[in-house]
């Protein structure tokens, strides 16, 4: 983390719902990545914070947000009704993007999304809704297939990262790749020896490295 990085907790008004975020803005930021976490997670996700810190070291700003309120999280823990509500998660991501453009980067830093699990689908749906406002997307162990028909409207470059031992998710990501019909630059990278959460030694570092390269190229 550079000494000149601006770090602050922010609040975003998403149609009357207040969602919290953690912003890190390097002095020479070349772009900004908004993180969309998966089920049962938050802006404090240690895996996403690890990846974000690696991006910050390459002068990419990051915004980790809670896609759900604390009350919604409590309900979701019991019912799981929110974690698969991709349209809701995507709408919160769209509000976060508007916040970035209005309050963080009025000069126009390019915006990318980093999505994990169901957050990957939310990122793709948001990108379909903001074709001019999204410059790159990275999915980690994601369920991008849950973006459904929105996949055909995504235009931003997409990198899908999947663990080599995450067999079912590999198949779902292969299907997704074919449905990204308007995406010129798309890639599926299977990281050998990694399971769904990339908990094996060195595997999350691999994720961060691939993500940093992708975002540096397109942001």
pTM, rounded to two decimals: 0.94
Residue owning tokens 């799981």:
80
Highest mean pLDDT among 1-10, 21-30, 67-76: 21-30
Quote the CA–CA distance of 129 and 142 in Å, as a whole number. 19
**98 falls in which pLDDT band (50, 70, 90)?**
very high
Name the average pLDDT for the chain. 92
pLDDT value at residue 79:
80
User: Checking DSSP bridges between strand 17-25 and strand 61-65, what pairing results, if any?
Assistant: antiparallel
pLDDT value at residue 1:
47
Looking at the chain, the whole-number percentage of residues with pLDDT higher than 90 is: 79
Q: What is the separation of C-alpha 100 from the centre of its chain, rounded to a whole number of angstroms?
A: 14
Quote the CA–CA distance of 118 and 38 in Å, as a whole number. 5
**Total domain count, the chain:** 1
Q: Which two tokens stand for residue 160?
A: 């899908």
Q: Which two tokens stand for residue 125?
A: 């749906």
DSSP 101-170: IIII-TT---EEEEEETHHHHHHHHHHHH-TTT--EEEEES--GGGGGGGGGG--S-EEEEEETT-HHHH
Residue 106 main-chain phi, psi, to 5 deg: -60, -20
Which neighbouring-strand residues pair with 13? Answer: 18
pLDDT value at residue 107:
65
Question: Considering the domain boundaries, does residue 214 fall inside one?
Answer: yes
Question: Considering the domain boundaries, does residue 1 fall inside one?
Answer: no
CATH number, domain with residue 20: 3.40.50.1820
CB atoms within 10 A of CB 204: 20
**39 falls in which pLDDT band (50, 70, 90)?**
low
Quote the CA–CA distance of 175 and 85 in Å, as a whole number. 21
Domain with 141 in it: 6-218
Which neighbouring-strand residues pair with 62? Answer: 24, 33
Question: Considering the domain boundaries, does residue 190 fall inside one?
Answer: yes
């Amino acid at each position: 983390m550079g000494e000149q990085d601006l770090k602050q907790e922010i609040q975003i008004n998403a149609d009357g719902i207040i969602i919290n975020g953690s912003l890190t803005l390097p002095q020479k930021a070349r772009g900004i990545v908004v993180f969309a976490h998966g089920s049962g997670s938050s802006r404090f996700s240690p895996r996403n914070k690890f990846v974000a810190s690696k991006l910050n070291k390459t002068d990419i700003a990051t915004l980790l947000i809670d896609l759900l309120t604390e009350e919604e999280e409590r309900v979701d823990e019991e019912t799981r009704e929110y974690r698969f509500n991709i349209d809701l998660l995507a709408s919160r991501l769209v509000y976060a993007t508007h916040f970035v453009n209005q309050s963080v980067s009025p000069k126009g830093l390019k915006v990318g999304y980093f999505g994990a699990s169901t957050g990957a689908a939310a990122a793709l749906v948001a990108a379909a809704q903001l074709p001019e406002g999204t410059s790159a997307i990275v999915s980690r162990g994601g369920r991008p297939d849950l973006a459904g028909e929105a996949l055909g409207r995504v235009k931003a470059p997409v990198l899908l990262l999947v663990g080599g031992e995450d067999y079912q998710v590999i198949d779902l990501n292969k299907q997704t790749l074919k449905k990204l019909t308007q995406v010129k630059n798309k890639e599926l990278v299977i990281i050998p020896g990694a399971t769904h959460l990339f908990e094996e030694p060195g595997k999350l570092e691999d994720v961060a490295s691939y993500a940093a390269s992708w975002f540096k190229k397109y942001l």
